[in-house]
Structure formats: C-alpha cells, structure tokens
Amino acid sequence: MKILVTGGAGFIGSAVIRHILQNTVDEVINVDKLTYAGNLSSIATVLPSERYVFCQVDICDQAALTNVFQEHQPDAVMHLAAESHVDRSIDGPGEFIQTNIVGTYQLLDIARGYWEQLEEEKKSAFVFHHVSTDEVYGDLDGPEGFFTEDTSYDPSSPYSASKASADHLVRAWNRTYGFPVVITNCSNNYGPYHFPEKLVPHIILNALKGEPLPIYGDGTQVRDWLFVDDHARALYKVITEGKVAETYNIGGHNEKQNIEVVQSICSILEELAPDNPNSLTSGKGYADLIEFVKDRPGHDLRYAIDASKIEKELGWRPQESFESGMRKTVLWYLENTAWWQAVLDGSYQLQRLGAETGVQE
C-alpha cells in the first residue's frame, strides 16, 4: 500500500513513518510544509529508503497538493498535519484556523476528486484517515467518567475548536459524498522527537539546564498519557483494519496529574543523570526547580479516554505503561542531545534548504 502522510515531519507523523518503514512493506509519501515544528531529522533513522518520498507542500496549496496526488497515486491518506500547541492558539488563532480547518477542507476536496476517478478496485480500498485529539470533547467533571466515541463535542481552546471543526468536515464528506473516512481521537502523546515547547520535553530540557520547571495553576490537571510509538501502532491498525465511517478513541490507560508527570521526570533524572552540573550547581535536586505559574485561559481540568472500542474491534492495546514509556523518553533525550540541541539553536531549520536526506520536490 502507498500511504500519503500529511505532517510526517511532526512528532506523531514522524513516529508513524518510522513505524511503517520499519515494520511493513508499505510505501510512504510524506507531505509536510516544514513549519517550525517540522523536523526531517526525526525520520533520519529509517532513511534512505526506496519506499519513501518527501514533498515539501502546504496542504492549503491546492495546486501543489493536487500535483502530489496525481504524481504519486496514493492508496490511502493519513492526515496528521495540524497546528497543535494550545498556548500558541490562544496567542494567535489565525494559523490554527487556516491549517486545521481550511487545510483539512483543501485536502478533503482534492482527495475526494482523486478518489472519484480511481478504478473500482482501488476506489473501494481507498481510505482517508483523519487524526484528531481528545481535546475536542472539552473536559470531564470530576474524577469519574471517560470520553467515548459518542461524547458530545465541547472544545475549550482555539486549537481544540479548530480540530473539532475539522472532524465535522471529515464526517460531512462521508455523509454527503460517500467519501470513505475514519477518525481517531487520541490522548496526550509523549516520547522521543517531541518538539521542546510541549510539557514533557520542556520539563526534561529545563531540568538538564537547571532552569525553572513551570507548571500551570496548582498542577492538578489530569491527562491520559499515551506513548507515541503505541499511538503509531494504533494508527496503522486503524488505517489497515478500521471500519469506514467509524471513530476510534486511542488512549494510554495512564491518567496522571501534571504535577505527577513533572515529579516522575525529576525522579527518573535523579537516577539517570544525578551528577548533571548544569541543573544541580546549587546542591538541590531536580524537583526543587518546580515553579507554579499563572494558569492559562480555558484550561481543561481532566481528559480521560475510554479506548475499549479499538481494543475489542481491532485488538490494539498500549504496550508501554506510563513508567516504562516515560523512562524510555527521558533516556532518549539524555542520549540524543544533538537532535534537541539543533532544535534549540535553530540549526534544524537548515532542512528547508534541502540539507536532509530523502527525495524533495
């Protein structure tokens, strides 16, 4: 199968591509604009590969995107391209509206036109997989209950509202045009190659530099944490075995308060990097760097995923516990300083000039 992956240079998209190239015989067309969060070095471990091609294309660019479909003739689409940082969406929602809503529309429109002209055998096998988030559901009241595939949408931030809008467009294309789609809504991802603005890598790298570890409010916000490689396995399960027009929630079965996440990282660092000179010059431990800061507007209190449907129907369960996954994550950042140093100093953006491997168009 030839799979077109949008946002394949991002955190989850690159994990999907690594999974496909390492564990299947499928081909990948990576379509990515290479915004600030796109990093082709996140795929370098599985390249070069004759089963991989990279196209630096904005999904809002109708002509360029149409050319990608016409030239590469994909059998399926995995749509992961999105602006995804909540704080950035609060400060400047315009990019989120453009990429997450308008971009999804453009992709749907072009993919539908392409699908309609396919021969019957390829047409019946084609699927458009839209990758979304549990944040479209809003938050849960209290410590009980879970998001299911039937939970009503109640987004709180410009980011989650833009993703909710995209979900609605995808479902509308199925109901109106019969376009074969499937949607997944995932919980908070973490793992290797995560852009440093997100909570887990931000805390790890600040701790290693001896800088404050900021936590919003009192840190009691609860999230379900999903190791990114487990998510990649689930996404591939869905695109190859999922039922058209269905939604699947994907969760890690790991509810943790934000303060617990930060404390866990500090504890692992005390074990794996106890003598780090940058963070421990004062003789204090990593946890002493924790600081509580003003909460962000509209901050949801609790997300929790009921992932029983994907387990029952497709046989997927996460392989990593929170403890094992977080330990692997911290160890990866300790062992891959070149990757995150290039992000922090901006040199990773040289890839825009064609510095990375892979076929670029």
- For the segment 145-176, what is each residue's pLDDT rounded down to a tens digit? 999 999 999 999 999 999 999 999 999 999 99
Mean pLDDT of the chain: 93
Catalytic residue among 159, 193, 303, 348: 159
Give residue 358's pLDDT.
42
Round to whole Å and give the CA distance between 333 and 42: 13
- 142-152 as b/e: b if 16+ CB within 10 A: eeeebbebebe
Catalytic residue among 135, 139, 167, 230: 135
Judge contact between 211 and 294, C-beta under 8 A.
Answer: no
The predicted-structure confidence for 190-201, as pLDDT tens digits, reads as follows: 999 999 989 999
Catalytic residue among 134, 139, 255, 320: 134
Give φ, ψ of 34 to 5 degrees.
65, 60
Q: Where along the chain do its domains lie?
A: 2-190+225-253+303-320+346-353
311 has catalytic annotation: no
348 has catalytic annotation: no
135 has catalytic annotation: yes
Round to whole Å and give the CA distance between 130 and 66: 18
Whole-angstrom CA distances from 263 to 172, 251, 256, 330 are 43, 22, 11, 13
If DSSP codes are grouped into helix, strand and coil, which group holds residue 323?
A: helix
Round to whole Å and give the CA distance between 97 and 99: 6
Other residues' Cβ atoms within 10 Å of the Cβ of residue 161: 21
The predicted-structure confidence for 267-322, as pLDDT tens digits, reads as follows: 999 999 988 766 666 567 899 999 999 988 888 889 999 999 999 999 999 999 99
**Residue indicated by tokens 């209290």:** 142
Judge contact between 176 and 240, C-beta under 8 A.
Answer: no
Give residue 161's pLDDT.
95
For residue 230, is pLDDT > 70? yes
pLDDT band at 255 (very low <50, low <70, confident <90, very high): very high
- Domain over 2-190+225-253+303-320+346-353 is classified CATH 3.10.20.740: no
Give residue 357's pLDDT.
41
Other residues' Cβ atoms within 10 Å of the Cβ of residue 232: 23
**Strand 27-32 relative to strand 52-56, pairing:** parallel
Q: Whole-model pTM?
A: 0.94
Give residue 356's pLDDT.
42
User: Beta strands of 21-149 (E only): which ranges?
Assistant: 27-32, 52-56, 76-79, 127-133
User: Beta strands of the chain (E only): which ranges?
Assistant: 2-6, 27-32, 52-56, 76-79, 127-133, 181-186, 188-190, 213-216, 222-227, 247-250, 255-257, 290-293
Judge contact between 128 and 180, C-beta under 8 A.
Answer: yes
Mean pLDDT of 105-120: 98
